[in-house]
Amino acid sequence: MTGTLSISERQVGLALAVALTLLGLVMAAAARQGPMAVHGAIAAALGLALVFRLGGALYDPEVPAGRRQRFYDAPTRFGIALTVIWAIIGMGVGVWVAALLYWPEATPPWPWTSFGRLRPVHTTGVIFGFGGNALIATSFHVLQRTARARLADSISPWAVLIGFNLFCIWAVTGYLMGSTQSKEYAEAEWYADLWLVVVWVTYFVLYMRTLARRAEPHIYVANWYYLAFILVVAMLHIVNNLALPVSLAGARSFPIWAGVQDAMVQWWYGHNAVAFFLTAGFLGMLYYFLPVRSGRPIWSYRLSIVSFWGIVFFYIWVGSHHLHYTALPYWVQTLGMTFSVMLLIPSWASAGNAIATLNGAWHKVRDDATLRFMFVAAVFYGLSTFEGSFLAIRPVNSLSHYTDWTVGHVHSGTLGWVAMIIFGAIYTLAPQLSGRETMAWPRAVEWHFWLAVTGALIYVVALWNAGITQGLMWRSYDDNGALSYSFLQSVMAMAPYYLMRTIGGALFLSGAILCALNTRATMRRATGAVRAWDRPLVPGPAE
């Protein structure tokens, strides 16, 4: 990091690190105990580590001239390293909680090891840690390559990555200590939420400033998606997390929303987190890495435009399909249902556009596991959006809701689509950023592919069965009008599926570990070579 910063940038960085240390100390001192104090201490420790790192390198030689003539890839490399680390943490905890559902008696006696605290560690770890870092890292790369401009400055990419990861660490350690807002995917407490707003605004400003310097007048579609992701996530995050802290010196708050309004705001957030975090950003990734890897032009420019606006427009309406048959008024549910069905069209148009792009490159799909990751991602994207639109139909939802079918749908989207496209992107990026032709262990990519596909299929198929079995058991009545099964029987019927899910998850996790090791080996053997064409047309700002 320090080697790529000029002396004056190192000074600014040092000042920011000192500020972070002070902020941490103030938090710790004000709270004195509990999660906020621990989080203050974590921030202070991180700040201090950065102070030493930057302070120690303050008077190292100035960066070599000519830096402006190259893309700024160090933050992307750092982000990819964080991505694979969070993959192992998040999926490791996922496999562990999956195992706990099969062997609940294996829960250790300490409160922080309970299922309820570990489950959000999994969801936050994978969505924000793994997915978020992948999105930020690739967005820096894609933005620079498609704008053909160097990032607008060198400090804010680091501030975004480090700040975002501090948020993730605060969130997961908070859950372990029992601190939560009790809003799914938005569990982190108020000060972490405020911190994320600051980080996100920095990210947005950096993105816009760089985009403004682009050499190509048209903005490539990947950037629209990344921008939609950044903008809408900011809006969702702020509205859903509006809360009044009980005290400025403690990690407890109450949302300003109440009752069914709170539920609606939460699922408006929740579903658009799916839409703009787990979908829009990753479509950006797909739209860049798929044509790059396959060497094919995007099949239809018009289709990409219509899909983009269709997805952005329809998604915003559909949150209420999470609240079918609840206190939410019927009319809101009808709107959520119908817009979810219309949403299928732009979703499939995107998946179709991606798959048609591979026309003329099918031999590469066969031979290149990296491209195959992207192909499978597009297929799973089509599958999970079809499934989603189907589940959103009210009578279907009366069968699927509260069952493991939802969890199966989630993981067909996250394992099959999100994780696969990330792996495809990593395997494309890691060699390029290391100045190498291939990954350090090309065979391991093939292994990873099969582990991931097998694991995801086992997981998803097991949970489809589980969910439909549960749903049917809960609604069957015997001749006398009495329930045919007790709830307990439906829980016991889950055992084989939960075991299969654990096995599928373990396969998927092993693939991810292989990816992490392979990426590390590849980056360690970096040659530092940069291809002649891989340079900005618009150099960095004058120094």
Partner 1 sequence: MTDATDPGRRHSAGHHGGDRPVDPVTGHETTGHDWGGITELNTAFPRIVIWALVLAFSYSVIAWILLPAWPLGHDYTRGLLGLDQSEEAVREYREMERARADWLAPFASAEFAALASDAPLMARAMPAAARLFADNCAACHQAKGTGGPGFPNLVDADWLWGGDPEEIAETLRVGVNSTHPDTRVSQMLAFGRDGILPAGDIELLVDHVLALSRGEDAADGPGAELFAENCAACHGEGGVGGLGIGAPALNDGDWLYGGSPGQIRTTLRQGRQGVMPSWEGRLSPSEINLLALYVERLGKGNRNEARE
Separation CA 401–CA 403 (nearest Å):
5
Candidate residues 211, 316, 345, 468; the one interacting with partner 1 per rule CB under 8 A: 345
Query: Pick from 203, 508, 515, 540: which binds ligand HEM (CB under 6 A)?
Result: 508
The C-alpha atoms of residue 515 and residue 381 are separated, in whole angstroms, by 22
- Of the pair 204, 299, the CB lying nearest partner 1 is at 299
Distance CA 132, CA 69 (A): 28
Enumerate residues 434-473 that contact partner 1 by CB under 8 A: 437-438, 442
Residues numbered 326-385 forming contacts with ligand HEM, rule: CB under 6 A: 340, 343-344, 347, 384-385
Count of other CB atoms within 10 angstroms of residue 85: 16
The contacts of residue 338 (CB under 8 Å, 6+ apart) are: none
Handedness of CA 124, 130, 136, 139 (dihedral sign): negative
Judged by CB under 8 A, does residue 148 bind partner 1?
yes
Q: Name the binder of 284 from partner 1, ligand HEM, none, CB < 5-8 A by kind.
A: none
Q: Is 406 in the site for partner 1 (CB under 8 A)?
A: no
Cα gap 346→193, rounded to integer Å: 32
Residue 487 touches which of partner 1, ligand HEM, none (Cβ within 5-8 Å per kind): partner 1
Q: Shortest gap between Cβ of 197 and partner 1 (angstroms)? A: 30
Question: Is residue 318 within 8 Å of residue 352, measured between CB atoms?
Answer: no
235/43 Cα distance (integer angstroms):
25
For partner 1, the binding residue among 329, 450, 476, 495 (CB under 8 A) is 329
Residue 204 contact partner, candidates partner 1, ligand HEM, none, CB within 5 to 8 A by sort of partner: none
Q: Which is nearer to ligand HEM, 154 or 307 (CB)?
A: 307
* Strand stretches in 148-295, DSSP E: 243-245, 253-255
**Least distance between ligand HEM and beta carbon 453 (Å):** 13
- Interface with ligand HEM (CB under 6 A), residue total 47
The item of ligand HEM, partner 1, none sharing an interface with residue 391, based on CB under 5 to 8 Å by kind, is ligand HEM
Query: In the bound complex, what is the minimum distance in angstroms from residue 54's beta carbon to ligand HEM?
Result: 33
Closest CA to 180 of 234, 270, 254, 237: 254
Per the DSSP assignment, residues forming a β-bridge with 477 are 483
Positions in 58-117 near ligand HEM (CB under 6 A): 91, 94-95, 97-98, 101
Burial-class residue 39 by CB neighbours within 10 Å (0-12, 13-18, 19+): buried
Q: Are the C-beta atoms of 75 and 45 separated by less than 8 Å?
A: no
Residue type, 90: G
178-182 long-range Cβ contacts below 8 angstroms, 24+ apart: 178/35, 178/111, 178/112, 178/117, 179/34, 179/35, 179/251, 179/252, 180/120, 181/241, 181/243, 181/253, 181/255
Which residues are near partner 1 by CB under 8 A? 145-148, 216, 218, 220-221, 288, 291-304, 306, 325, 329-331, 333-335, 337-339, 341-342, 344-345, 348-349, 352, 359-360, 368, 370-371, 428, 432, 437-438, 442, 477-478, 480-489, 531, 533-534
Which residues are near ligand HEM by CB under 6 A? 91, 94-95, 97-98, 101, 119, 122-123, 126-127, 131, 184, 270, 274, 278-279, 318, 321-322, 340, 343-344, 347, 384-385, 388-389, 391-392, 397, 400-401, 406-407, 409-411, 413-415, 417-419, 505, 508-509
